[in-house]
Every structure is written in structure tokens, then in C-alpha cells.
A and B are shown apart, each in its own frame.
Chain A
Amino acid sequence: MFNKKIEILSTKYKNLEEQKRFSSYKGKKVFSKSGAYVGKIKDVTYDTKNTITGVIVKSKKTLFLDLNYFSSDTEDLVMLTIEPFINLIGKKVIDSEGKLLGKIIDIDRNKTDNDFKSLIVREKFYKKPFIIPKRHVHVTKENVILKKAYNNN
């Protein structure tokens, strides 16, 4: 992969074989636990002790992903241990009586973990968005199914 010879100037490292580089991360694809595409890595973050803490991913929104959510990290891609909340954006919302309420345009969160407080849904682009609290959500997989019927007016 890295053909050009690199001269090493270090008191600690003799070679670069077990070292990773930012350039190998940039543009790498990130996939969720179930194999859904999340985005591409734009940048790598590290703390004051020079330890890598995570990556910045260009997704539906720009996302900081903690390294603790990495399941595997190969040459071509990164797999996560979670289904990131960001992947809910764009999914359809259907109530328990089969009514299509709209699509998720944004997500309201309380904390920085992989959870959400409510979904912001819009039926059509010219209509006002509305909120669906998390307690009304039954399933969040391919699309979102609610526990009860909803009035769209």
C-alpha cells in the first residue's frame, strides 16, 4: 500500500508496519451494525494525550463517531456496533393503521449517545413539520412504525 520508502526519526518506533495513518482513513466508508451505509470519513480526532478518539463522518449530517462504536476497521471500510440514529433521517413513518405520515427530516436528541427524544416528520415539502415523541415509536428498522394511529391534520 505505501510503496515510497520513509525514513524513520523516532526513539520509540522502529518501523511503521503497525501504525495507521490519517490518509488511510480519509474517504473510508462507514457501515452500521446491519450493513447500512452511514457515510465517509472526513477527519480523525484526537485528545490532548494524542490518542485517537474518533472520526468525523460526512453523512446525512456531519457526525462525530466515537472510536468505541467501531466493531471492525479494515483497509476499505469501518463497521459499527450500532445503528446510528442519523440513519433514521429519510425513513418513512407509518402509523399502526397503515397511514403514511411522512418522512423523517430531523431528530431531536437530549444527550450525545445513540438515542433520540423525538422525530421531526414532514408529510410534504410545503407542509409544516410535526413532532413524534419516542414513546410513540414501535419499530425503527427499514422504516418507522408507530404504536398508535395518528391524526395528520
Chain B
Amino acid sequence: MKSKKEIKKPKTDLITSDDILGKEAVDSEGTILGTVTKLHISNKNNKIIGISIDMGLLSPDLFVGINHVKYFGIDTILLKSVPAVKFKNKIVKNHQGIKLGKVYKIETNDENNKNQITAIIIKPKLISTKDNFKVKYDQIKEIGNSIILKKHFIKQKINKKSTIKLLHE
């Protein structure tokens, strides 16, 4: 079995919309987020400002700014980072692997456009009398296929009134 050779960069820097639309978008962890369906172009300076990714039937499209695109590749579009929205609906388990629920909502710190996760809101199982609860990002042990919480993670109850207040601020 041969080891494959590395290739030189292509001579042309020009690509068309055909080279972008319909391709899969891959984040920096290798997750295939969805298919690129739109190119967003600024009316003022005619520059591409971002792309839209179709993340499936049950999820809204994800807009990714052009600064977050690493490379428009032959088969995939590589992104520079991991979008926080990827964690929505991920299964949350405790340190023993017991399922606690799913990620219902993500809270982020949008300072400096970094979109860092600060906390996640977990919805317990579908048929459950338990309320949603919040867990801060530093209580997360591992993020991968599921989200694994630390052994003695701190649960924060969500005051329904305060969440409504936040939406109207």
C-alpha cells in the first residue's frame, strides 16, 4: 500500500458559486454541519459576507460569516471554528454515562464576536415532570458525541419569569 503524495496549490484562485453551493460544511472538529445552500453578498461593496448552511429539516439554517470560513475546498467547505449551535439537541449525560436530557438552549458570550458558550440549558426526557435546568460551561467534563458533565456538577434552576424578562430586554 502506497502512502499518498502531497499536492501543490492550484494555479487559479478563482472559484464560482458552483464550487460552493451544494457542498458540505465541516467545522474544525470534522463535524459535517450540513449543506451550503446560499451565498450572502453585500449590496454595498459586492463582497461575499457569508454562507447559509442547511442543517436539516428540524433545524434552522445556520449563517456563517465569511471570516469563519477557512477554505472553499474541492469537496467540502472548511470552517475555522465550531459553531455553538452544533450543541443544540445533543444528549447530556452525567459522569457515569446516565442520560439526563438534551441541550435545549445555549447561552453564549458574544463579546468580540467569539460566540463562546457560557452555559447550556438542559431539557430532561420528553416524558418527565422535571423542569429544565441550567449548567455553566465549566461544569462540562467532555464534549463529543454527547456532553458529559463533571461528577458533582452544579444545577441551576431556571426562573421562568426571569427568562421571559430577558427576551424583552
| Residue positions of A touching B, CB distance < 8 A | 31-37, 71-72, 74, 76-79, 83, 91-92, 94-101, 120, 128-133, 139-145, 148-152
Contact = CB atoms under 8 A, between A and B. Distances in A.
B91 A35 contact: yes
Given A72-B95, A94-B76, A145-B30, A151 B71 contact: no
Contact of A129 (B1, B75, B91, B148): B1
B29 A99 contact: no
B30 A132 contact: no
Given A72-B97, A74-B96, A151-B4, A83 B144 contact: yes
Contacts of A130: 1-4
A120 B75 contact: no
Given A35-B148, A72-B96, 11 more contacts: A34-B142, A92-B30, A92-B32, A96-B71, A97-B78, A98-B71, A100-B76, A140-B30, A141-B30, A145-B30, A149-B6
Contact of B29 (A35, A133, A139, A152): A139
Contacts of A120: 1
Contacts, number: 125
12 contacts: A32-B144, A36-B146, A76-B98, A77-B98, A78-B97, A83-B144, A94-B75, A131-B4, A139-B29, A150-B4, A151-B4, A151-B5
Name the prevailing secondary structure of the A interface residues: loop
Interface of B: 1-7, 9, 23, 26, 28-32, 71-78, 91, 93, 95-98, 142-148
A86 to B, nearest CB: 14
